[in-house]
Structure 1
Amino acid sequence: MRRFSLWLRGKPLVADSMLAVALVLVDLATIGHKRNLLVYLVFAVIVPVPVIFRRKYPRTSAAVLLALAIVSTVVSRLIGEDLQVTALVAVGIALYTLVAYVGRREGLIYLVGLVVDAALTDLLLRESVLMTVAFLTLFYALCWTLAEFLGARHAYDTEVAARLAVADYDRERGAHEAVSAERTRIARELHDIVAHAVSVIVVQADGAKFALRSDPDAAEQALGTIAATGRDALRELRRTVVLLRTEHAPEQLPQHGTAGLAKVVQMMRSAGLAVELEMTGELDDVAPEVSLGVHRIVQESLTNTFRHAGPAPKAWVRVHRRDADILVEVSDLGHGAGPLVDAAPEPDLAVRNGIAGSGLGLVGMRERVAVLGGALEAGRRPEGGWRVRAAIPLVREVAE
């Protein structure tokens, strides 16, 4: 039963269709007491139909139900019999849906419409005013209260899910950064092995060439050194290649460009961080390493704001492509720590700058921007909060 309930939660059309069918069956059970069976049957079948789409099209569904309620009152007056279609309780369901899924403002407007419908019913059918007012007040108050409760629970669940998604995202990012750092270390080791071995071999080969005729023993010794150096280098290369072959971390780079930036910003918004994003210029045709650098700077800066900027933080992200570079600026109104200093930082400064914890923080951003040939500035804003500003060249000169 629990599995079926969880399955229905993800299929609102199916659940609402079952509710509509239940309303029809209730009306069919009492149809024998009606004089105008055909009219009653038509309303009993038509009224529950908007309930099926109440969560997919809440405003339209609510408006149609209110219109059907008014038409039912007018028809009851014309045929001289109060139809009393049980399915008309769906107007209360519509009120609940508007408050829970759309907003209180729409719910209040709809409640005014229901009051007008109740007044019209009393005017045309001359029912007991006191009884009608008491019943409708209790019924609509119950619908509104239930919507407030479930709406708050739904918002809480959504926020928790968003925060869990951010936490998972942080863990995946940390794992990816750890793998990248390890691969960078292996790359440095490979460079050291190859550069050292080749340098020794070249020098010894030149020496052996000149000593081949004049000093055969020296030439032989140089050749032995070349062979030994080559064997050592080959052994080290094999060891390093084994490390690379046993690395099973998947190569899943983030989606770059405008789509990737929008995804990061939307994720932070879902978690409760107010973010404004401004992108100007063509950002989707830059080099992959530049695009990745922009993505990582925005990602790390917003994560730092989300973690350390205090209650109700707000951030602004500006990515502007200029003639020769891309300007990335992320600022916030938080009360986090100040810029990185040369002296030993305070604990909160260490957290803000990524020295403590698992992230690379500003240190990693500085290294990434430096590799791309750019410059990064980070620190407190005069008006309060924190700013990270980076300029990344579109064309990077590789130093020999």
Structure 2
Amino acid sequence: MRKFSLWLRGQPLIADSLLALVVFGLDLLNLGQSHSRTLYVATGVVVCLPAALRRVRPVLSAWTLLAVTVVVVLVGARYDEATAVRPALVLLVLALYTLVAYAGRRRALWYSAGLIAELILESVVLDRAMLENVLLTISLYALSWITAEFLGARRAYDREVAARLEVAESDRDRRAEDAVAQERTRIARELHDVVAHAVSVMIVQADGASYALHSNPERAERALENIAATGRAALAELRRTVVLLRAPQAPERLPAHGTAGVAELAELMRRAGLPVRLDLHGELDDIAPSVSLGLHRVVQESLTNVLRHANPGAEARVVVRRGEREVAVTVTDTGTGSPAAGPARFGSGSGTGLLGMRERVAVLGGTLEAGPAADGTWAVRAVLPLPDPDTGAH
């Protein structure tokens, strides 16, 4: 039953069709009070049908239901009063709720005016006590509006929380990837140091041994012993490094590069509540993967820190320009730019975020500047050189 409920929540057309069917069934309970059962059933079907589209096409469904209701009231006043006064007309209250929750207040206000006009027409045509009828019905409409506002605010809050959790998960994954990359870099440096040092020593000793082999056999023997010892030590270090590299690790999740990657980051932050303006100039999809990844990381780290540390209501702007030999990225925000707030922008006061960006940019041969501007904004500016198409060098 729970699985069916979750599935039904993702199928609004089917769920609303079932709702319309239930309301039609309740409406048939008053069939015995009608003088023309065929007319009663026909008008009931016409009234309930628009409800099936209330979330798929909320505006069309609501106004269609209102128009059908006016026709049913006029028909009922002429042929059968039971046709005009029926439980199915409670769908008007549901239509108002749907407009407030899914289409916005402005459209709901226009629809409320239409409901009031329909209510006055109904009171005149059916010759009811107008004040009592209007007050009761308006109370139902007001309750519907308040309920929609409350539930809409709750849904908006849930969406923002979900978006922020998504950002947090993305940030966590990114930090985990950076940690793995840093560890791999450390192992690579160790490996390079071990191999380079050992091979250099072995080459020097081998050359010395070859020269002293006939003139000074004892010296040549010592050189060979040093070669063997150095080789054994290097082999032990290599084995230790290989053991580390063979440790099971989760597969790397590389972000989307180029225009799509930057746009995905901006949309992710917008869903979390941070307004982001994105200006992209030049072709970004054919640049080298290393530069594209560096650009992605600078934008990601900058926007994440704006979201976490800038003042409420801050807005961010990302400008990426590709030139002939470099790609420049600037991330600015309207949050606090005071010097005291600077350290907290990266690494929760430790500065590791900024340091990581500087190291990444430096590896690519670029430059990075970060700090408050004179107008109170905070800016991160990075310039990443493009590899030479002939040599591949930066």
Pair in the same fold by TM > 0.5: yes
Q: Structure 2: how far apart are the matches of 1:4 and 1:398?
A: 56
**Identical-pair percentage:** 54
Deviation at 1:388, TM superposition (A): 0.4
Match of 1:341 in 2: none
Q: Structure 2: how far apart are the matches of 1:375 and 1:17?
A: 60
Structure 2, unpaired ranges of 5+? none
Match of 1:182 in 2: 183
Match of 2:86 in 1: 85
1:344-383 alignment runs, 5 A limit: 348-354=341-347, 356=349, 360-383=352-375
Deviations 1:173-197, CA, capped at 9 Å, x for gaps: 2211111111111111111111111
RMSD: 2.2
Q: Structure 1's 105 and 399: CA in aligned 2 closer, same or farther, altered over 3 A?
A: closer
Runs of 4 or more above 4 Å deviation: 1-8, 396-400
Deviation at 1:398, TM superposition (A): 7.8
Q: Structure 2: how far apart are the matches of 1:16 and 1:399?
A: 61
Structure 1, unpaired ranges of 5+? 339-345
Match of 2:12 in 1: 12
1:204–1:225 Cα contact (<8 Å) kept: yes
Q: Structure 1: how far apart are the matches of 2:71 and 2:326?
A: 65
2:34–2:82 Cα contact (<8 Å) kept: no
Could you say what secondary structure the match of 1:220 adopts? Answer: helix
2:201–2:230 Cα contact (<8 Å) kept: yes
Deviation at 1:141, TM superposition (A): 0.8
Query: Are 1:276 and 2:277 counterparts?
Result: yes
Q: Structure 2: how far apart are the matches of 1:93 and 1:360?
A: 53
TM-score w.r.t. structure 2 length?
A: 0.92
Deviation at 1:329, TM superposition (A): 0.6
1:147-166 alignment runs, 5 A limit: 147-166=148-167
Q: Structure 1's 399 and 13: CA in aligned 2 closer, same or farther, altered over 3 A?
A: closer
Name the amino acid aligned to 2:379.
R
Could you say what secondary structure the match of 1:293 adopts? Answer: helix
Name the amino acid aligned to 1:131.
E
Q: Structure 2: how far apart are the matches of 1:398 and 1:193?
A: 28
Match of 1:387 in 2: 379
Q: Structure 2: how far apart are the matches of 1:67 and 1:198?
A: 89
Could you say what secondary structure the match of 1:48 adopts? Answer: helix
Q: Structure 2: how far apart are the matches of 1:42 and 1:379?
A: 71
Match of 1:49 in 2: 49
Aligned residues: 391
Match of 1:215 in 2: 216
Deviation at 1:322, TM superposition (A): 1.4
Match of 2:229 in 1: 228
Q: Structure 2: how far apart are the matches of 1:161 and 1:395?
A: 39
Deviation at 1:309, TM superposition (A): 1.0
Query: Are 1:36 and 2:24 counterparts?
Result: no
Deviation at 1:21, TM superposition (A): 1.6
Deviations 1:50-76, CA, capped at 9 Å, x for gaps: 222212221122122112112212322
Comparing 58-67 and 212-221, the one that deviates more: 212-221
1:231-380 alignment runs, 5 A limit: 231-338=232-339, 348-354=341-347, 356=349, 360-380=352-372
Q: Structure 2: how far apart are the matches of 1:270 and 1:212?
A: 75
